[in-house]
Structure 1
Amino acid sequence: MHESEQLVAQLAALEERFRQRLHDELDELNHLADHLHRTPGALQDLRDRLHKLAGSAGTFGYAVLGERCRELEQRAQAELDAPHRSSAVLNSLAEATHHLNQLLEHTPDARTEHQRLDTPTTDEGDQRHIGLLVADDQMREQLERTLGSFGYQTSCFDNPTTLHQADHIDAMIVDTSPPGSTLLQDPVFRQRDAQSPPLLVISSQDNFTGRLHAVRVGAIGFFTKPVDLPMLESRLERCFNTLQGGPFRVLIIDDDTELSARYALVLSSAGMMVDTLSDPQQLLDKMTAFSPEVVLMDLSMPQYSGPELAQVIRLNDDWLRVPIVYLSAEVNAERQMSALLKAGDDFITKPISDSALLTTVYARAQRARMVSEALARDSLTGLLKHADIKEQVEIEAERALRTRSPLTVAMIDIDRFKSVNDRYGHASGDSVIRALSNLLRQRLRKIDRLGRYGGEEFVAVLPGCSEDDAFSILDSIRQAFSAVQFSSTQGKPFNCTFSAGISSCMAPGWNNSALLEDADRALYQAKESGRDRVCKAGVSSN
């Protein structure tokens, strides 16, 4: 069965389960309506059940029933808030509740087709193809050389039409120089949409008008000459790797099992990892085991409220950054605000369409991951910080020892970096550091771990990689880095090199603490031997 057909079948099965449950729900509502005058607490129970049904009925296609339940819920709540019960109001409420059964005779509303939130992906081995529309020969050559060093394939075009008609273009770089250029006003740029390849704009002028024109054609980056090419490449990489960290993890907390199952199905079909929880007493264990990036939580549940559970989550410092989105049929703005002020981050009013649910959760999860990454990683390079990369060395070393698999650690240091800062300025130095981090991230595997050890020094942890293979990989990166051309404020381009030392866990009697020490000694050997080279631990470079 095709994936979309399977999803439709699963959604239909959930809707059938809801229809079967609906008759029991309405019978219980009728029973409560009959006891409004005689049974203490019946009005509160009636209000709670109406609230629950108001949120779920519309989701499963009974929009008319859901709206009617919402109206009755509000009437019940108003009576609960009144200082004295009114027999006339209770009688009217009971009569209206009995008439809810008649709404089942209406055919459920046609469900809109489920929309999958797709993100373009490229296999790890595929080479990104960048289209260049750059008239300046020197600028074009710099772009080709630099992007080529970072593993991109480039093609040059003469006009916007041929660029947009080209096949397999993953991103576009357009130079709008000289001043007064109307290039971005070409109709092909104005016809761009969400499916068009990412666009980066280069300009000779840094002003509001130029940036506004770029935004209006959907540009994701704007760079003025002289262009910081490593920063441009960094923007490309960030664009291409939105979902590099794997599927988003979403936890749904709701006592309505059919409704949470539907939400889970919709989100998981869009590539998210979803878990559900109906018993709040298991909340702490579930948060620890699943480590969600977003929590979707019902506002009203038996014995517990959503804000109470949200505050329980916030008591743990490790979960302070996890967005909590309330799902509820509550429409009272004051109650919504009260819930948000206690511990929530957003509020979704039930019923919600599949596409709206996807968009909301995706946006929250994406932002949460970006914030988490920003806090856990070095701000300049995006790599792991000193303590984190040291921890990764220990983790991978223990795994290598346990599985008897190879592991290589590399210490990398930019040559004569102080002279770069002294001669070209710290901004240029930052550009060099960023360029090397981007190049390492691009050329190494996703399973490898990279960290900024301090200043201009980096550590790479390469699990499953022998010392000889690591040497070949790092030496090729060394050659590519030496070809990268940097711009300075003086307008004079310059190049940099790095030295590296590598150590492997394959030697007899190796231990965790020795890996970094041996790699550091090998790095020192590379520096003493003339720089711009890679040395193995215990092997002479001569």
Structure 2
Amino acid sequence: MMSNDKSAQQTAKPDLVQTFLNQVPGRVSAILENWHQLVHSDWKGNLLDTLIERITTLNESGSKFGVPQITQSGKSLIAHLSDYHGTGLKPQHDDVVALDGLVHAFKDAAIQACNQQAEVLASAPAESAKETAESSGEQKVFILGIDEALAANLTRHLQTHHFDVHYLTEVDQIVRHYEINPDEPSYLVSHVEMLDKLFPEAKEGGLWNKNNGLPGMPVAFIADNSDLKTRLAAMRVDASAYWVKPVDPYLAAKRIQELSTTHSHTAYRILIVEDDPAQADFADAILSKANFECRSVTDPLQVMDVLQEFRPDLILMDLYMPEASGTEMTTVIREDNEFVDIPIVFLSGEQDLDKQLSALSFGGEDFLSKPIAPKHLITTVTNRIRRARQLSHRLHGHTRGEKETGLHSRNYLLERLDALLKSESPIEEVTGIYFIQIDNQEDLIKTVGIGGLDAVLAVVASHLKQNLQSQDILTRFGDNSLSLLALRPSDDDLKTLGESLCQSVSKQIIEVENSTVGVTLSIGIYPVQNNQHDSSSIIAQAQTASRNAQDAGGNQINIVEPEVAAEDQSAATAGGDLGALIEKAIENNYFDIYFQPVVALQGSTQAHYQTLLRLQEPDGKLHRAAEFIPKAEELGLISKVDQWTMRRAIHVINEHMAQGNRLHLFVSQSTDLLENMERLSYLREKQRQGQIQDGSLTFEFNINDVARNLKSAKICFDVLNKINITTLLTRVTSSVETERVIEHLPIKYIKLDFTLLQDPELGLKQLIELAHGKGIKVIAPQVEDPRSIAILWSSGTDYVQGNFVQRPESNLIYDFNESVL
């Protein structure tokens, strides 16, 4: 008997996993709602408790149902939230912004993981001969009455989901197909003008099922406008989807794939909680006959155990039962975060309207009075489940971006680009990735302030959108930058679009906070053709092109030319491909770290080292960072190089810590870290594991890069400080820009620009006094002779680094106890 139960459970496991995946969006939605309530409640402790509990419960379920990405991301989020748990402290504004990014990163990770797991389940081998037969061919999607351009784009995206797409011109064609193949799993995307012919008002003919009078084929309608009367007509024929132009073909295809999977693989699961076995059997018989999968529980005290095993889509709950009432059970179920979104429908002989309303106040979605007509029961249960799934589906859409600008989310652009790169379908148009930066940001901030920069970017985005097509994807990418994905017939058209964007914005006068400003743009364009890079690398190369446009004077475009870049690469490495070598180094650990001591001028004996990255070829040849870092930035590989260096540094620190030796490393990082919440989460986890100790790790950033991303840098630096990682700015000069940056950011060290060592009259003493006034330590790099040491000593410099102290070595051999300068 036990063996049979176990076997049945194993057989049902894919369905249970699918049911869990269906519930995740709703549960994540509840977490987001909880988070928003917490933020707007002045950080009430009970709401934080609930939020952490909900995330923890979802983490546990993720582990149970084989979706570890949810657990990993959730643990990191809980780690950050725990800083404020039980302390009575409320985070500062910038901390809330950082936490908000982590909450939404958790949401994205959970949804993406579920989508991936759903694809695995959908593509898994069928367990029965019937399922094998059904899955032997591609599922058909018919397109009827849709304009040619939209149909072509929709087809391309549908084919990436392995649909067999057919174009139709007449309603009779799909009707004949349905009459001949009524049981074939297929889907129709039709213009809404065809609705009356597809579904005649008499409910006979067309696509009506002649046996039950219900729609015989799932249909998604596309309309030219949002006419309510037409929309209601589509709803009354149970349309699976209704889209108003402009339609995003990528999201439409993705939705069809989700709906087809639901129709093809998963029956609705109903848990019937009824103490009267006869009544339970009656409801079971009605619903089972309508192809629902039912489970009956006559003892309400067993409900929670059955919920865990059965994972229903809806609970049909009796109101009056011994041991526990329906309202009590509903309260208990709703308190369990894992089942907070399951619709509950009361089924009872209670006729008193006040008592019915009272029951609904405990968390029920509907109340059905006994005796009930079978058709009414089936319709109510079906509609409640579909409504719950529609609400869950909203989290799968990525059109929700910034409310202020109406832009798409950054992750959506990357997802779309990844989909295009992975697509096996031919694309007649050229994909262009644009990185768009506002010129002269420093002057702009002086006029409108940092907060005003957001308003300027919103106005710029509004003007840009007027020059774009409906399928183009515009998103905010940084403090003063936007990114765009656009498909055009040729490279020349991509260039023309970039030029028109520059021109249209340069002609505008923007009013912000009682100030009037003009804005110009520098745009980098990357045409994606037969490309082997991932989406992040392509964005990075477009960003490099944008900087080149800025360096050339701004208000212009710069186009990446992959073929020329490849030739330059080859020449720069004397016959070798440096880009390929960097990629191999990441994969095969060809990198190495050299260490150069950073010595205190005022008697400290703590071991401080600058990490210097080297790239070693298989034949032993070493490349200095200056030889390959620019190429890594150009190819969009700098983030991966940064991560390798960061992990290696943490490993070295912990090796020495295990031997009882205290070590402090300075590690160079690019601006990728400023926007990369996942990497911050990784560091937070390392700190919780005890692998990052206070005073052991400092990240270096170029002050010019930080100045261009000041808002993101503030959030990032605050997070780093909380996890015991200090920050350093390099190439610092005595300037108004330096004053603005160090006033705004929590910085522990600055590294002087070499020009100050060559000519101290350029403001060396003033800069050191400014830094010391802020509690910032000053490091002088590239020290090569005793004369420099004397000048730096008298100026108040705290540390020196350079070949005069010691050349970079592959080991940590400098004796700080014996250092005399």
Higher relative CO (Cα under 8 Å, sequence separation at least 6) belongs to 1
**Shorter-chain TM band:** 0.3 to 0.5
Please report the TM-score for the alignment, with normalisation by the length of structure 1. 0.45
